[in-house]
Amino acid sequence: METVIILVFVFGYLAITLEHSIKIDKLIPALVMMAISWALISLGIDSFSQWFDSANHGLVDGFSGLEHENKMHLMEETLLHHLGKTAEILVFLLGAMTIVEIIDYFDGFSTIKGFIKTKSKKRILWIFAILAFILSAIIDNLTATIVLISILQKIVKDRSVRIWYAGLIIIAANAGGAWSPIGDVTTTMLWIGNKVSVGHLFGYLFLPSLICMIVPTFIASFLPAFKGDLDIEEDSNDKPKSRFSSTMLYLGLGAIVFVPVFKVITHLPPYVGMMLSLGVVAIFAEIYSNSKFSITEINNEESEAHAHHSPVHHSLSKIELPSILFFLGILMAVAALESLGILFNFADSLQDNVSLLGTEMDGTRVSDLVVILLGIGSAVIDNVPLVAASLGMFSEAMDNQLWHFIAYSAGTGGSMLIIGSAAGVVAMGMEKIDFFWYLKKISWLALLGFLAGAVVFLFTRTLF
């Protein structure tokens, strides 16, 4: 039965990887393989020789000798445990997404365009890279990429030049998301799972992530694509649609940044703080909306309807529920493999096999190599299930350097291929970037940044 469940996961995962080829949204195979995996576990519960207790992170003693009813009760408790942990992540993401949509409702991100006062291609490259690095740490790398490419499309009219900027934005956004607990889904998973803390995450990963952004940007600044000046056309109609745009931008970003502070002070799960932040932002959004802020549109009737529409309801209607359902499916599917002890046993065998590459390698160096391979693998395979699997593979204590290295590798390794991260996929869709163009022009820059950051991490961890 274990073999059948593994095959279900493999085929489901293959369908997710080939999403663009088979034209089936990845949430569908994720949900199907999750449901089938747990159904097979329930039907074949008596045939399993071991069971993994996620709460205590160890195999249950004497599982094979338990009565059928006791095994079913244990399975239900485990399922509820994983659903609770997954729900924490999903509710957190829902809150963050809604705040970002409220900012966008007030056209808050248009404020960022005012930061760009130069026509130099090289300077604009650095401005966008730095903005991507900072913004992704606050509003996550996916949203930062969408915002910056949208601004880029208004500034750089030549698509052949714009896709170069988009490629570097992907690298910078993924690097920025790695060192922040709210910057990347995988880092958020580790944070909510009590594997990393905010202070140690910043201490371990800020410098490696910064180097991961700086090295590719510095090298790219010498490439022909970023030489000379841009022909930027001033658009008189390109103004914020609301007089509260900058206020809502800073309020929304401040509210999201407040979440880690709330957790440190109260020791409550992060989603509680995110709900508080969402509530505060929503209050101001409703107040500002009721004050009839001006919307500069040609159609006055549309403007009036927009002004009276609840910004919270509008923002909730724009949330990407397919992404939320995908996370639900993939995390619960990985939880099925974890519950059977498959990931736990796989981690032991992987470390044993890697250690065979060199008899002088100690346990730490073996783990480092495994994590680097995980980072390279995240360029091909979605990093969410890879990190979810690592949570079941390793049992190190909170803030162990291994968890921080996993956060760095999974977060930045996806930049090496355009399909390796959510930021890359959305940029690919927005700019119609060719997979092989990215592979030829950008991937080597991402690889150099990834390796440079990894070397810096191996140094910075000795300081803790």
How much is the pLDDT for 352?
Answer: 63
How much is the pLDDT for 47?
Answer: 86
Which residues pair with residue 120 across a beta bridge? Answer: 229
Which residue, 246, 248, 239, 240, is CA-closest to 287?
A: 248
Which residue, 341, 175, 138, 375, is CA-closest to 256?
A: 138
Candidate ranges 142-146, 319-323, 401-405; pick with highest mean pLDDT: 401-405
For residue 263, pLDDT over 70 is answered with yes
In degrees and rounded to multiples of 5, residue 58 shows phi and psi of -170, 165
* Domain assignment present for 26: no
Tokens of 248: 């809502």
DSSP string covering 419-436, please? Answer: TSSHHHHHHHHHHT--HH
Considering only residues 71 and 143, tell me which one the structure prediction assigns the higher pLDDT: 71
pLDDT digits (tens, 9 = 90+) for 23-57: 888 788 889 999 999 999 999 888 888 887 776 66
CA dihedral for 258, 260, 264, 267, sign (positive or negative): positive
What does the alpha-carbon distance between residue 108 and residue 241 come to, in Å, rounded to a whole number? Answer: 9
For the segment 262-269, the average pLDDT, to the nearest whole number, is 86
pLDDT digits (tens, 9 = 90+) for 268-326: 888 899 899 999 999 999 888 876 544 444 444 444 444 456 888 888 888 878 878 88
pLDDT digits (tens, 9 = 90+) for 69-114: 888 988 898 899 889 888 887 888 888 888 888 888 888 877 777 7
What does the alpha-carbon distance between residue 451 and residue 430 come to, in Å, rounded to a whole number? Answer: 28
Query: Which region, left, alpha or beta, applies to residue 363 given φ > 0 means left and ψ of -120 to 50 means alpha?
Result: alpha
For residue 341, pLDDT over 80 is answered with no
How much is the pLDDT for 56?
Answer: 66
Considering only residues 343 and 421, tell me which one the structure prediction assigns the higher pLDDT: 421
* Domain assignment present for 53: no
Band of residue 243 on the pLDDT scale cut at 50, 70, 90 = confident
How much is the pLDDT for 288?
Answer: 84
* Domain assignment present for 66: no
How much is the pLDDT for 353?
Answer: 63
Residue ranges making up the domain that contains 269? 80-464
* Domain assignment present for 337: yes
Number of independent structural domains in the chain: 1
For residue 354, pLDDT over 60 is answered with no
pLDDT digits (tens, 9 = 90+) for 356-399: 554 444 456 667 787 888 888 778 766 776 787 777 677 788 88
Residue type, 30: A
DSSP string covering 254-314, please? Answer: HHHHHHHHHHHHH---HHHHHHHHHHHHHHHHHHHHHTT-----S-HHHHHHHHHS-HHHH
For residue 453, pLDDT over 70 is answered with yes
How much is the pLDDT for 455?
Answer: 92
For residue 202, pLDDT over 80 is answered with yes
Q: Average pLDDT, whole number, for the chain? A: 81
How much is the pLDDT for 381?
Answer: 67
Band of residue 454 on the pLDDT scale cut at 50, 70, 90 = very high
How much is the pLDDT for 313?
Answer: 85
Which region among 30-39, 91-100, 194-203, 343-352 has the lowest average model confidence (pLDDT)? 343-352
Tokens of 262: 């709330």
* Domain assignment present for 44: no
* Domain assignment present for 101: yes
Which residue, 343, 388, 332, 321, is CA-closest to 80?
A: 332
Token pair 């508080």 in the structure block, residue:
276
Report the 10 Å Cβ neighbour count for 117: 7
Give the CA diameter of the chain: 76
Which residue, 76, 19, 93, 6, is CA-closest to 42?
A: 76
For residue 447, pLDDT over 80 is answered with yes
What does the alpha-carbon distance between residue 230 and residue 113 come to, in Å, rounded to a whole number? Answer: 15
* Domain assignment present for 10: no
